[in-house]
Amino acid sequence: MLKEIRQAILPLALRRILRRGDLERAGLLIESLSRHWRDSRPFELLIVSPPRDVGVLRTNLPRFPNIDISVRSESDFFPALGTFHLLPGWYRQQIVKLLVPASLGFGSYLTFDSDVCCVGDFDATTFVTDGRILSRWEPKIHHAWWPRTARVVGMPHNEAAHGLSVTPNILHGLLAAQTLDHFRGRLLDPMATLGTWIVRNMGATAWTEYSLYTCVAELKGNLFDHHVHWETYYRSDIKLYSEHTCVWSAADFERLAGQAGRRDAGGKFIIVQSRARIPIERVRDYCLGFAG
């Protein structure tokens, strides 16, 4: 039975000029985790990056005693000439969030991107209910990737059902491994199999890591062995994510920043979209201004 969740994964490739933007965003995520992690043992954050970025990240990321940061290279997990490197960057991040925790034997783990920030206090038991994960859900009818994923997995699409929503969320290493194994053939690895579906969809979102994970577990019949039902999550007072305090544009930020004060964000994590181009100092003031 699941008792605690104290691990997370962050795929991170430094792509901006001088790579400062991604570094600063990741640093803010780490700082916010340090402020809100309320547990006697450190929170474990694994960052997986292209080989060229590992040294920069190990040297420049902030360090806090209650956050145990490990930076690993993609080359530790993916062969240099493998199919993984042929996938578009967004899909490579999705594969990292599934394959790396599974290969390292993670139990339950949080998934992050660099534009995620922690805005509420939590500990190792916050997202555990009756021995299962209190993950974040969404109605399948909301996104076109759900029927596409059903076709990829080889199962009927049920638009009345709900599935695990996008980052940030919480997955389990056993079901992540199960997801990849479902696409492992005699001659093709999961990346090659999934890559063909990316090509077939001609630029549309073929799948997300969460839709693959959900649909495979539904097909195998063990999704709710590890996750509480979506109705339980919707009724819960504990919310992993706050929709109404996220920032998607500069206009959103100007509207929300004046309201933040010391109020509760309504969830433990929010997103401040990096494409909104808000100066990092203002993002920091906004994210760290919420009450725990």
Whole-model pTM? 0.94
SS3 71: strand
Mean pLDDT over residues 162-182, rounded?
97
Strands 67-73 and 128-129: unpaired
| Sign (positive or negative) of CA dihedral 225, 101, 13, 199 | negative
Q: How many Cα atoms occupy the beta-carbon half-sphere of 14 within 13 Å? A: 23
Question: How many C-beta atoms surround the C-beta of residue 289 within 10 A?
Answer: 14
b/e map 145-168, b = 16+ CB within 10 Å: bbbbbbbbbeeebeeeebbbbbbb
75-82 LR contacts (CB < 8 Å, sep 24+): 75/51, 77/48, 77/103, 82/189, 82/191
Q: How far is CA 138 from CA 73, 134, 164, in A?
A: 32, 13, 6
CA-based R_g, the chain, Å: 18
Torsion of CA 78, 89, 34, 44, to 10 degrees: -20
Task: Give pLDDT tens digits for 188-228.
Answer: 788 888 888 887 776 678 889 999 999 999 999 999 999 99
Core vs surface per residue 101-117: b (16+ CB within 10 A) or e: bbebebbbbbbbbbbbb
Distance CA 94, CA 98 (A): 7
Residues 62-88: tens digit of each pLDDT = 999 999 999 999 999 998 888 888 888
3-state secondary structure of 9: strand
Q: Is pLDDT of 252 > 70?
A: yes
Question: Higher pLDDT residue, 131 or 189?
Answer: 131
Domains annotated for the chain, with CATH where assigned, are 7-287 (3.90.550)
The pLDDT of residue 21 is above 90: no
CB 39 within 8 A of CB 124: yes
Give the mean pLDDT of the chain. Answer: 92
Phi, then psi, of 64 in degrees rounded to 5: -135, 145
At residue 136, the pLDDT reads 97
Q: What are phi and psi of 9, to 5 degrees?
A: -125, 140
Task: Kindly report, residue by residue over 80-114, the tens digit of the pLDDT.
Answer: 888 888 888 889 999 999 999 999 999 999 999 99
